[in-house]
Structure 1
Amino acid sequence: MNMPQWQGGDEPAYSFGSELLRWLAPPHDGPEETVAVPEPDGSSPPVSRGIKWCAALLSQARAAREAIERHAPDRIVTLGGDCLVDLAPMAYLSRRYGEKLGVLWLDAHPDVMSAAEFSHAHAHVLALLLGRGDEAFTAEVPRKLDARRVMIAGMQGWNADEDLILKELGIRHIPPAVLADSSRPILDWIETEGITHLAVHFDLDVLDPAHFSPLLFNRPGMPEGAFDGIEQGRMQLDQVVRLLKEIGAAVDMVGLAIAEHLPWDMLRLRNSLAELPIMKS
């Protein structure tokens, strides 16, 4: 499923990042759906119930659910877009596999806030899947995830609000240093919880921005200190690939969402080419 959603992070470049992921993805045999998302037009975000672009995001989540239900798949790969693109796929897989399902959340951030803490809904998605947050969005998750079968991996730090929520929800997390050379902590969790099917949320910002460029923290032209206080990823891409391959050999991986791809250089090149008259003739 292609979902070029950008409103959850209020960042138009997520739309182009999703389109490029679609082009980069290897060939596949299954059905393909693309959720219609309005192009950014520079307008200010409407805010409802404390959430920017609330109505559009809810409409898109429902459209994604309908697209999935048309095919009733055994597995879903989702290419986004901001992190909220995983609401419908995870909700579907939770309903399909129930207690057999585990969720691995590869992310530099826990995504457990609500409108009370932050107006960008891409930071709400894991909490929504666990039943915490805006009622209209949690209603899209008929079978809530079991916190025992959720593991956040690659998160180094979190803020005070997130700390309280993580404790309230009882979500476990493993820092990047523990996973740098071994997948064993995740494999042990899978075995202990009796997980037979796994869905993976892969927010690219779990990666170290010094070694992987298409991330929010590498946005051109930002003043020094613009991202102070926001946790940045520490993992390497080859570490994540190793982790997913080893986990995939041990459990049936039924879901993968890749989110928050921001290819700044490609976006600059696209926009620059559009300025050349010869390209339009």
Structure 2
Amino acid sequence: MTMKTLRLIFPQWQGGDNPPYHLGSLLLSFLAPEATGPVEQVPVSLPGPDPLTEVEGITGKPQLISQLKEAGALIASHDPDALVVLGGDCLVSLAPFAHLLQKYRDKLGVLWIDAHPDVQTAAQHPDAHAHVLSALMGEGDQDLVEHVPYKLSPSKVMIAGIHSPLTYEADYLSSHQIATLTPEQLKNDASEITEWIARENIEYLAIHLDLDVLDPTLFRSVLFARPGRGEHDFGDVAEGRLTIEEVLRLINQTTAKTEAVGLTVAEHLPWDMLNLKNLLSALPLMT
């Protein structure tokens, strides 16, 4: 049977309250190989001069819920077997992975490649891109959770590339017994991930790739490579330690044992391209 794959361009930036995510998504769609199936773009308003407002503890919540509904409707109109999502901040995985969970149920595993687990709620952080994985497991803001009719079991999750979690995150991962792999484990022996696939009888895989899992000294289009950043600008938040080659090796290792039905690439922050765009806009004869 031929698998129907929907490519979803989702330039959401409100989930991280970081406007450059919008350009990051559009550049991913330009750089990606040409799609062989249907392509849709979720309508997302361009960043404007007014700051986002916080509603029920979540920054930009009305915009996020509207975009979540739009994404869900586009996905439902195609009912794809597989999804590629080019974001945007990490919240872009919520509607696509909810669709895959509904379709594949307990046969689906989620490989979350990220320096952070994204299991916080509004009680810990107002930016919803940090809430997405917990929402997929049925926890957190109910307006997010209600869009996940079939909840993800914590045992079906593997978080790879994580290190130095915050206290709340570490407690959550421990209490939910979520499998993790640190950068050091991935560099040395990642056999635990194939053991997880076999143990949980995972036949299908949804992969969430947050580009900030990459070492910002090697890959510069991520949050932590922001030009002019200070040493302590991001507090105690972990920064990526992997290379592109290590990420590809991990993905190839897992897809050799399961069938990939979901892929999100998120949190692309092309600082140089943004600065170049602003320069072009300011040059004479351009406008």
> How high is the TM-score relative to the length of structure 2?
0.95
Q: Equivalent of 1:250, from 244, 250, 257?
A: 257
- Deviation, 1:26, is 0.5
Gaps of 5+ in 2: 1-7
Aligned to 1:119: 126
- Deviation, 1:163, is 1.7
Q: Equivalent of 1:42, from 33, 46, 49?
A: 49
> C-alpha separation between the residues in 2 aligned to 1:159 and 1:256?
26
Give RMSD over aligned pairs. 1.0
Q: Matched residues, percent identical?
A: 47
- Choose 160-169 or 47-56, whichever is displaced more: 160-169
- Letter in structure 2 aligned against 1:190: I
1:185 equivalenced with 2:192 (yes/no): yes
- Deviation, 1:166, is 1.8
Query: Number of residue pairs matched?
Result: 280
> C-alpha separation between the residues in 2 aligned to 1:73 and 1:180?
34
Query: Is 1:179–1:185's contact at 8 Å kept on the other side of the alignment?
Result: no
> C-alpha separation between the residues in 2 aligned to 1:170 and 1:54?
29
Deviation readout 1:37-64 (Å, 9 max, x if unpaired): 0000021211111000001101101111
> C-alpha separation between the residues in 2 aligned to 1:257 and 1:269?
26
Aligned to 1:99: 106
Aligned to 2:3: none
Aligned to 1:63: 70
1:236 equivalenced with 2:254 (yes/no): no
Aligned to 1:197: 204
Query: Is 1:80–1:258's contact at 8 Å kept on the other side of the alignment?
Result: yes
> C-alpha separation between the residues in 1 aligned to 2:93 and 2:152?
13
Gaps of 5+ in 1: none
Q: Secondary structure at the match of 1:102?
A: strand
- Deviation, 1:167, is 2.5
- Letter in structure 2 aligned against 1:87: L
> How high is the TM-score relative to the length of structure 1?
0.97
Query: Is 1:79–1:258's contact at 8 Å kept on the other side of the alignment?
Result: yes
- Letter in structure 2 aligned against 1:138: V
- Letter in structure 2 aligned against 1:129: L
Aligned to 1:206: 213
> C-alpha separation between the residues in 2 aligned to 1:228 and 1:117?
15
Aligned to 1:259: 266
- Letter in structure 2 aligned against 1:274: S
Q: Secondary structure at the match of 1:112?
A: coil
Aligned to 2:5: none
Which residues in structure 2 correspond to 1:106-145 (within 5 Å)?
Answer: 106-145=113-152
1:149 equivalenced with 2:149 (yes/no): no
- Letter in structure 2 aligned against 1:256: L
- Letter in structure 2 aligned against 1:226: D
> C-alpha separation between the residues in 2 aligned to 1:178 and 1:168?
21
- Choose 218-227 or 171-180, whichever is displaced more: 218-227
> C-alpha separation between the residues in 2 aligned to 1:184 and 1:169?
22
Flag the 1:224–1:177 CA change in 2: closer, same or farther, 3 A. Answer: closer
- Deviation, 1:181, is 4.5
Aligned to 1:215: 222
Aligned to 1:87: 94
Aligned to 2:26: 19
- Letter in structure 2 aligned against 1:52: T
- Deviation, 1:182, is 4.3
- Letter in structure 2 aligned against 1:11: N
> C-alpha separation between the residues in 2 aligned to 1:24 and 1:210?
22
Moved over 3 A (4+): none
- Choose 221-230 or 259-268, whichever is displaced more: 221-230
Q: Equivalent of 2:12, from 5, 30, 48?
A: 5
Query: Is 1:3–1:79's contact at 8 Å kept on the other side of the alignment?
Result: yes
> C-alpha separation between the residues in 2 aligned to 1:143 and 1:279?
50
- Letter in structure 2 aligned against 1:276: L
